[in-house]
Every structure is written in C-alpha cells, then in structure tokens.
Amino acid sequence: MKEFIKYVFATVVGLGLFMLIAGIFFFVSIIGMAASEGSTGSVKKGSVLRINLNGTLEERAEEENPLTMIMGDQMASLGLDQLLDAVDEAAKNDKVEGIYLEVGSSFSGGTPAMLQELRQALVKYKESGKWIYAYGDIYDQGAYYLTSVADKIVVNPEGLVDWHGLGGAPMFYTETMKKMGIKMQVFKVGTFKSAVEPYILTEMSEANRLQTEAYLGCIWNQMVEAVGASRQLSAEQLNSLADTLTAMQPAKFLIENGLVDTLAYIDGFKDMLRTKLELKEKKPINFVSPAELVAAADKKDEKARIAVYYAYGEIIDQPSSNPLSAGETFIETMPTIRELQKLRKDEDVKAVVIRVNSPGGSAFASEQIWHEIQLLKAEKPVVISMGGMAASGGYYISCGANKIVAEPSTLTGSIGIFGMIPDGSELIQDKAGLRFDVVKTNKHSDFGGPAVMGIMARGFNESEGAMMQAMIERGYDLFTRRVAEGRSISQDSVDAIGQGRVWTGEQAIKIGLVDQLGNLEDAIAEAAKLAELEKYSTDTYPAPSTFIEQMLNQKQESYFDTHLRAAFGDAYPMLATMQRMMEKQRIDQCIYARIPFDLKIW
C-alpha cells in the first residue's frame, strides 16, 4: 500500500511539474509573439517578394492571433490592403529584385474587382522595370487572370490551367423549405431585386437572368482584354480556348496556345529564379513576405492626414449571437458611427476615404450610417472607394459622398428594398403539433411578442401584409431620394436605373452612379485634391486589434464555424441567413437593402 501511495504521489508531482513547465513555455511563446507585434523587419539586397496565393483573399489583412495559430485553428487569409502596399513597396525598394507569384491549390480569389485591383498594381509595378515570375501546380481562373501579368508563367508538367469563362448559378431553397413546412413571406420594390428569388422561386426570373448575363458579360470582357494584352492573345483566341475546357487539356496544349511559357517542377522553377538572380547553384534565394516588406517600408509622417476607413461585410444593426456568423465580418451600426465621429472631430484628418466592400444588409442601419457620413461630409471631403461590391445598402451609404470611385468590375447599384419573414405555421402547427391560444386586447396584439417570432407562428394576414408592403415602399422612396440628392439627379431617373438592378462599375459610370473608374490609390488622390493637400500621410481605420484584445475577444464559435462551413458547403449561407432571421426582434430589422445572399461568380 505504501508503494502504491508513493507511485501515485510521484505521478501527481511529475504531472504537476510537466504542466508547470509547459505552461511557462506556452506563456513565454505568447509573450514573444505579442512583443514581436509591430516590429519592423529588414530586407536583404537581392530579395524577391514572394506572394503566396493560397487561402482566401480578404479586403483587409487581419492580425494573426497567436493563440489560434498555436491551436491550429487559423484559416489562411490574404489581405488585399497588405498585398497592394507590398507590391508598391517592391517597385520602390532597391533591395527587391522581383516578385514571385506562388499559386497554391486552395486560392480563393475574392471578387473579380479585388483581383482586378491587385492585377492593376502588378501592371503598375512592372513600369519600374522589375520582373514578375509565376509558378503553380494548378491555376484556377482567378489565379490565372491575376498571374497572366507575369513575365514568365510556369506550370507543373502534370498541372493545369483552368480557363473556361464566367458563370453564376444561384441555389434555390423553395422546395427544400416546402418539405420542411416553411414558406417565405416576401415584400419588395424593384423588378430586378433578386435576393428573394432563392426563397420563392425554383429558377431565375427573366429580369434576374437579364441583369446577370449583362454584368457577367461585362466582367468577362474586362478579363479577356487584360489577359489578351499581357499574353498577346486576341479576344477570339481566348474565347475559343475557354470553350475547349483548358483544365482537361495536356500541359503541352497550354504552351502551344500561349497560356503559359514553360513547364517545370518546383525545383526546376527555383533554378530559373537563381539564374535570373545570377545566384550560384543551390544558393538560397532571399524571399521576403508581403508583411515583412510592408513592415520595413519607410512611412510618411505628415501632420495633415487622409483617413482610409474600411467598411466591409454585411451591414447589420447589432452583433449576432448566431454561431453560424462567427467567422464573418460585418459593418455594425454603432461602432461604425463612433469611428466616423472620431474622424470628424480629428483636426489632423483633412479628408476621409471610405473603402466600401459590402453587399448591403439592414436598410435601417444603412440609413443611420448614411446620416453619419453626411455629418462627416459637412466638415471635410469624403470619397468612396468601391471594392468588390458596394451594392444596395453598400450603395446607400456611398451615394452621398463628394466623389465615388469604383473598379470597372465592382458590383454596385441594386437600389431596392425588400422584406422577408419566414412563415413557419405549417411546420409549427401541422408537423410539430404545437397550438397557440391567444388572448389579446387589440386587433394586432399577437403580431408582437417578439413581433417576428409571433408572425412566424401564423403568417401575415391581408391587412398586415398591406401595411408591410407600404413600409417597404416608403423605404424604397427614401433610398431613391437619398441617391437623387447625393448624385444630383431626379428621383424618377434614380427609379429608372434602380429597381434593384445590379451594375458593374463600368456600366455605373455611364448612368451616373459613380464618378470615376479607379482603385483605392486613385480615391486617395482625389481626396487630397478636394482637401487641397500636397503633402499628407494616410492612416487606416479601424485600428487592427492588438494581441491582448484578440485574447480577450477570442470566440469559441470560430472552431465550430470552421467545421460547419466545411460540412455544409454551399448551403452554409442559407443556414446562416435563416438563423439570423430567427433572431430578429422587430419588424424594421427584417427590411433589407441587399443583393443576393450567396452571389457566386466563377
């Protein structure tokens, strides 16, 4: 017995010592990571900027969370803002010889406009006389469009390039919901307002098909023109190649038709880089990452500043407790308003560029943010830089700015309003067998408590439906009035180009919805011009979260979010949307200014 107690005691002490040592090691690692935040690196002479196109292209680079990195729960993401800064610095930095675009197999290229902006930066970089080389095993269409700017495109001898044209296939949930005993109650203004269609139809309406064909054709023509200029291929050749399904052709076909320059495995490609750099065989190449290059750059520090405020994601009234929304970025009303108020009161900020990349969202929240932007505009110039999309509510918050700058392939417009509330009476009463015995003091007392959940149990009656439609129409009238005031055109003219129709930036400039085609850099230059600034520096807002803030705000849901996305795939947006609808407590929160919930272009 004594021996048993002795062994047990020794085991407990050993485990305790192990946990203590492991804990010390863990926290020393965490402190080291935190201390490295904001440190500036050094770039060696003869360096190559390596841009690893692997992961999801996001609007803005997020600070890496050391805790999630250690736990292995960090989803790979690329910040467009950081990549643009790195490419710009690579052109200016004498120690950087060239750029290596390393195409990964899981590159998700964001929206066409985001790829377009990064490609434009690479084209401008080449004006410095420096080179770009690209290598990949598999080039999807977005990656190929981006890397086609390279001086040399190399593909694995057993790899492929996918060049097939653009398509869009919305998923329709109407029949699925019918089987569940749920139907969607829809109220809308706008012939082209197609966000509701997946919930009430089984195929695209003619109006939606018309607008989709128009913007897909516009974006495809832009891609063909850009790739053709870089690869010296005609539009006819590129369209003919798209029809051959290049992803199913042998690698030699890619060379014969001018899509790539040569075939090599990764070791052979790196030998090409060494030859280009005039390095001896097997000598290591000095690669530098975008983050390292940006950290090493000399920053301007002028007193006069132009603020670049990033507003990206769905526009919402308040944060969601829905675990299906854990991994998403939102434009939340009150935090956005508070940040804009700070910029309005900051005397050193002479102009503000608002970078909008949003499909829209809550109509009420959009109106509140629009109002705050008008207060800001009364104090200093405001320029909108449209990213991948600035549509519906995204256009609502943009329309009153001094100037609007959009990429040619930005998706914008979609001036329309809709309300959407599930009617779960069949599910609740017939399938689940639940019954309600209502006592009320007034005609519509059972409409509340909370309103949305109450109406889901029985559906709208005729008079309630009429009032809801009238509310939607008032919202559309207000939206078109805001656009008319901001763009200095008549409300009837806005209605004619509104009706929920989605336009590309190239189309929008012709109908007066935007002022200029260009990127974020162009928008900053326009803001400086309006503020009459010759010397200035730029600051970005909101400030990224610090390590400590990330530790305090770390959400458990991120683990579930990652695995739920993988499990449900394309059905994930529908599940997240339905869950957010169930959370709504007031009818005004069910009124949307938004483009389709799961808009996909490939």
Residue 515, CA distances (Å) to 116, 267, 434, 571 in order: 19, 48, 56, 37
**pLDDT given at position 424:** 83
Question: Are residue 392 and residue 528 in the same domain, yes or no?
Answer: yes
Residue 339, CA distances (Å) to 308, 313, 373, 521, 524 in order: 11, 16, 11, 22, 19
Which of 180-194, 221-235, 276-290 has the highest mean predicted lDDT (pLDDT)?
Answer: 221-235
Helix, strand, or coil (residue 162): coil
Q: Exposed (0-12), middle (13-18) or buried (19+): which is 247, by Cβ within 10 Å?
A: middle
CA torsion, ordered 401, 310, 555, 16, to nearest 10 deg: -150
Alpha-carbon distance of 136 to 147, in angstroms, equals 10
On whether residue 465 sits in a domain, the answer given is: yes
On whether residue 449 sits in a domain, the answer given is: yes
Q: Which pLDDT band, with edges at 50, 70 and 90, does 556 fall under?
A: very low
Tokens found for residue 534? 């010759």
| pLDDT value at 383 more than 90 | yes
pTM of the model: 0.87
**pLDDT given at position 37:** 39
* Residue 498: alpha-carbon gap to chain centroid: 24
Query: How many Cβ atoms sit within 10 Å of the Cβ of residue 588?
Result: 16
Question: Are residue 276 and residue 326 in the same domain, yes or no?
Answer: no
Question: Are residue 282 and residue 338 in the same domain, yes or no?
Answer: no
| pLDDT value at 10 more than 80 | no
To 5 degrees, how large is the angle CA 228–CA 271–CA 286? 95
Range with lowest mean pLDDT among 140-144, 204-208, 449-453: 449-453
**pLDDT given at position 531:** 98
* Residue 10: alpha-carbon gap to chain centroid: 55
On whether residue 40 sits in a domain, the answer given is: no
On whether residue 599 sits in a domain, the answer given is: no
Helix (H) or strand (E) holding 186: strand 183-189
- Residue in 165, 167, 166, 143 with CA at minimum distance from that of residue 155: 143
| pLDDT value at 538 more than 60 | yes
Q: What is the DSSP string of 205-251?
A: -HHHHHHHHHHHHHHHHHHHHHHHHHHT--HHHHHHHHTT-GGGS-H
Mean per-residue pLDDT over the chain, rounded: 86
Range of the domain at 541: 305-594
Give the CA diameter of the chain. 94
On whether residue 520 sits in a domain, the answer given is: yes
In 38-179 the beta strands, taken as DSSP E runs, fall at 47-58, 77-79, 96-108, 131-139, 152-161
**pLDDT given at position 11:** 58
Question: Are residue 292 and residue 309 in the same domain, yes or no?
Answer: no
Question: Are residue 489 and residue 523 in the same domain, yes or no?
Answer: yes
Q: Which pLDDT band, with edges at 50, 70 and 90, does 500 fall under?
A: very high
Question: Are residue 571 and residue 451 in the same domain, yes or no?
Answer: yes
| pLDDT value at 21 more than 80 | no
Q: Which pLDDT band, with edges at 50, 70 and 90, does 557 fall under?
A: very low
Range with lowest mean pLDDT among 141-145, 171-175, 250-254, 383-387: 171-175
At which of 271, 296, 321 does a domain end? 296
Q: What is the mean pLDDT of residues 320-336?
A: 76
Residue 418, CA distances (Å) to 361, 389, 450, 527 in order: 10, 19, 20, 34
Question: Are residue 452 and residue 520 in the same domain, yes or no?
Answer: yes
Alpha-carbon distance of 415 to 479, in angstroms, equals 7
Integer Rg of the chain from CA: 27
* Sign of the C-alpha dihedral computed for residues 140, 142, 148 and 152 taken in this order: negative
**pLDDT given at position 299:** 81
Q: Which of the 8 DSSP states describes residue 426?
A: I
Q: What is the mean pLDDT of residues 181-209?
A: 92
333 in Cβ contact with 567 (< 8 Å):
no
Task: Tell me if the bond preceding 335 is cis, omega within 30° of 0.
Answer: no
On whether residue 234 sits in a domain, the answer given is: no
Question: Are residue 449 and residue 549 in the same domain, yes or no?
Answer: yes
Beta carbons within 8 Å of 551's beta carbon, 6+ residues apart: 67
The count of domains in the chain is 2
Query: How many Cβ atoms sit within 10 Å of the Cβ of residue 434?
Result: 11
Residues in the chain: 602
On whether residue 22 sits in a domain, the answer given is: no
Give tens-digit pLDDT for 77-132: 789 999 999 999 999 999 999 999 999 888 877 899 999 999 999 999 999 999 99
Give tens-digit pLDDT for 439-491: 888 888 777 554 455 667 778 888 989 999 999 999 999 999 999 999 999 99
- Strand 417-423 to 287-288 pairing: unpaired
**pLDDT given at position 437:** 78
Beta carbons within 8 Å of 380's beta carbon, 6+ residues apart: 344, 349, 350, 351, 352, 531
The residue type of 345 is: K
Q: Which of the 8 DSSP states describes residue 351?
A: E
The residue type of 427 is: L
| pLDDT value at 359 more than 60 | yes
Q: What is the DSSP string of 509-561?
A: HHTTS-SEE--HHHHHHHHHHHTT-SS-EEEEESPPPPHHHHHHH--THHHHH
Question: Are residue 422 and residue 560 in the same domain, yes or no?
Answer: yes
On whether residue 53 sits in a domain, the answer given is: yes
- Strand 502-504 to 411-413 pairing: antiparallel
Tokens 């296939």, located at residue = 169
Percent of the chain with pLDDT over 90: 63
**pLDDT given at position 541:** 96
Classify 46 in phi/psi space as left (phi over 0), alpha (psi -120 to 50) or beta: left
Residue 261: φ, ψ to 5°:
-100, -35
Question: Are residue 530 and residue 426 in the same domain, yes or no?
Answer: yes
Question: Are residue 359 and residue 388 in the same domain, yes or no?
Answer: yes
Q: What is the mean pLDDT of residues 24-41?
A: 44
Give tens-digit pLDDT for 400-433: 999 999 999 999 999 999 998 888 888 888 888 8
Question: Are residue 523 and residue 483 in the same domain, yes or no?
Answer: yes
CATH number of the domain encompassing residue 561: 3.90.226.10
**Beta bridge partner(s), residue 58:** 79
Which of the two residues, 494 and 183, has the higher pLDDT score?
494
* Residue 80: alpha-carbon gap to chain centroid: 10
Q: What is the mean pLDDT of residues 535-551?
A: 77
Range with lowest mean pLDDT among 10-19, 22-31, 97-106, 330-339: 22-31
